[in-house]
Structure 1
Amino acid sequence: MTEGITEPERSESLKTFGAVLQAFRENARHTQETLAPELGYSVHYLASVEQGRRFPTREFVERAEETLDAFGALRKASRHLTRKPGLAIWFQKWALLEASAITLDTYEPRVLPGLLQTEAYARTLFRGQLPPLSDEQVEAQLLARLERQRLLRDRPNTAYSFILEEHLFHHRVGGTEVTRELLDHVLEVVQLRNVEVQVLPLGRGHHAGLGGPIQLAETPEHEWLAYCEAQRGGQFIAESKEISVLQMRYGKLRAQALTPDDSKGLLSQLRGAL
């Protein structure tokens, strides 16, 4: 997916949160080197949050709140964070929804969805972006993507469904070794009980996804929302009529794709052929 293709930005809310965190850390007589291990994060991660260069995870906020005895200040400050470095402006709203959804359905015909990418595959995409990105921009976007991927394991009660085009693996983005690693990674991820992957095989002909990628999410309040992305922007969809159309298409795609078990078999065959 193209989500995350933009220059990382620092918002005032991120910088403010970082300053508040630093103040509580110093008040507790911690250095970054002594606090980071207690939080279970790296010194680099902690420093990036304090500098307003990285969006803290909810887990990080909770651990910092408890470890520093911050009187609820860090929790309250985190509610006002508005920008996530490494994510495109048009994708940030969907990323927030993605982090709380109880169902997430994804059909992506262009590249592997961000939640399934390996570091090497994602790095290849970012390095090939036009206009070219700086090394700092590549790293910021890569970190944001890898952080998002924790959702698959951190949210075991969320049902993730992915429909992938077989041709994505034949492109061999990044070369044969990167593709081998990618297939191994997808085959590992599908072992998770909350993740289902179906492959749309070559030669399927006409199918319900020819109109482009589809992302659907169900909120904890059981409201359905959708997101469709183009090269330079994304459309957040809340209108029930449009949601119904996309759900109909996604449902048809699931019927047209291979079953999850047959999809695993095909992915294993592709891996063995490399």
Structure 2
Amino acid sequence: MANGSRQAAWEFFGAELKRRREEAGFTQVELGTRVFVSGGYIGQFEQAIRKPQGDVAQRIDETLQTDGIFERLCTQLIDDHRYAAYFARAAELETRATSICEFAPALVPGLLQVPAYARAVTLAMNPFALDEFIDEKVAGRVERGRIFKEVTRPLYWVILHENVLRVPVGGPAVMAEQLEHIVRLTRARTVVVQVLPYSAGGYAVMTGDLRLMEFDDAPPTAYTEAVYSGSLLDDPAVVKRAQRAYDLLRADALPREASLALIESAAEGFRRCASST
């Protein structure tokens, strides 16, 4: 389903939820209490600010006695199978974010991946998958990168651990193409990139993948990811701790010009290696 169609389904979910809630005589707070979320969450579902989750939709159906309509909307219209279930909500939110700050300890973030790099990563994680599956996942990652071509693109600040520049994902030619793409985006002032060098020590290893997102019409959110799992965090105290962790990483990272020089050097090394084979 195209982004526009998913957004329309999301908005339909919100409008239908508001209609059914009001018919049942519940306030947002009252419905939220019954389905174990805040009234503010219900409001954000109704305004299509947050993507509805299947378990919440199921409880809404039970409370409003709507014969499973909201759960079906989530499953059939809103869920995007190009992304892992644990990441789908974060993918939707990044299209609405005004600011994204990201730390990548091992791989180039999906928003910056070129097709060849995305394919290499997807194949490595899914060695027995069919071509159709691989193609769908790669297409999803490449489409996410188009956010930088939008007039309303978010401010994007990424910290790459030096690991990201050194591990030859997909081979030297793919790495050269990927790093050169990051250089182009940086020189075009589309993104801000810093590199956290090996000399920064072990703090980054303990932090793991981290993304912070800010919005015009919703509270900030943090997203963390591990192997085959991810967590979207919106508790204000937890988000504040995540922001402090990111600030510490940024303090230890190389300045922007030094970071760019290191990325360019790594790209040149991979390019030379690719041309000699």
Equivalent position of 2:274 in the other structure: none
1:79 is aligned with what amino acid?
E
Decide which of 107, 117, 123 is 1:121's aligned counterpart.
117
Deviation at 1:269, TM superposition (A): 1.6
1:145 is aligned with what amino acid?
R
What is the CA–CA distance in structure 1 between the aligned matches of 2:84 and 2:118, rounded to whole Å?
15
Contact 2:219 2:234 in 1 (8 A): no
- In the superposition, relative to structure 1, how do residues 129 and 228 fare at CA in structure 2: closer, same or farther (>3 Å)? same
What is the CA–CA distance in structure 2 between the aligned matches of 1:75 and 1:86, rounded to whole Å?
15
1:79 maps onto 2:11 in alignment: yes
Contact 1:208 1:252 in 2 (8 A): no
TM-score (normalizing by structure 1): 0.70
Equivalent position of 1:56 in the other structure: 2
Deviation at 1:105, TM superposition (A): 0.8
Contact 1:106 1:163 in 2 (8 A): yes
What is the CA–CA distance in structure 2 between the aligned matches of 1:227 and 1:125, rounded to whole Å?
20
1:183 maps onto 2:179 in alignment: yes
2:111 is aligned with what amino acid?
L
1:192 is aligned with what amino acid?
A
Deviation sequence 1:140-177 (CA, Å, 0-9, x none)? 00111111100122155510011001122211111111
What is the CA–CA distance in structure 1 between the aligned matches of 2:113 and 2:153, rounded to whole Å?
21
TM-score (normalizing by structure 2): 0.69
What is the CA–CA distance in structure 2 between the aligned matches of 1:250 and 1:56, rounded to whole Å?
33
Deviation at 1:137, TM superposition (A): 0.4
Equivalent position of 1:193 in the other structure: 189
Of all paired residues, the percent bearing the same amino acid is 30
Equivalent position of 1:257 in the other structure: 253
Contact 2:10 2:78 in 1 (8 A): no
SS of 2:100's partner is strand
Deviation at 1:223, TM superposition (A): 1.6
Deviation sequence 1:230-258 (CA, Å, 0-9, x none)? 11211110111110111001011111101
Once structures 1 and 2 are overlaid, which stretch shifts more, 205-214 or 128-137?
205-214
Equivalent position of 1:110 in the other structure: 106
Q: How does 1:1-274 map to 2 (within 5 A)?
A: 55-58=1-4, 76-77=8-9, 79-80=11-12, 81-130=77-126, 132-208=128-204, 210-221=206-217, 223-274=219-270
What is the CA–CA distance in structure 2 between the aligned matches of 1:248 and 1:78, rounded to whole Å?
33
SS of 1:86's partner is coil
What is the CA–CA distance in structure 2 between the aligned matches of 1:127 and 1:141, rounded to whole Å?
10
Contact 1:104 1:215 in 2 (8 A): yes
SS of 1:263's partner is helix
What is the CA–CA distance in structure 2 between the aligned matches of 1:87 and 1:200, rounded to whole Å?
28
Q: Which has the higher helix share?
A: 2
SS of 1:247's partner is helix
What is the CA–CA distance in structure 1 between the aligned matches of 2:263 and 2:232, rounded to whole Å?
32
Equivalent position of 1:71 in the other structure: none
Deviation at 1:208, TM superposition (A): 5.0
Deviation at 1:179, TM superposition (A): 0.9
SS of 2:181's partner is helix
Deviation at 1:270, TM superposition (A): 1.5
What is the CA–CA distance in structure 2 between the aligned matches of 1:183 and 1:265, rounded to whole Å?
11
2:155 is aligned with what amino acid?
A
What is the CA–CA distance in structure 2 between the aligned matches of 1:175 and 1:160, rounded to whole Å?
27
2:3 is aligned with what amino acid?
T
- In the superposition, relative to structure 1, how do residues 155 and 249 fare at CA in structure 2: closer, same or farther (>3 Å)? farther
Equivalent position of 2:34 in the other structure: none
The count of residues paired between Structure 1 and Structure 2 equals 206
Contact 1:162 1:197 in 2 (8 A): yes
Deviation at 1:207, TM superposition (A): 3.3
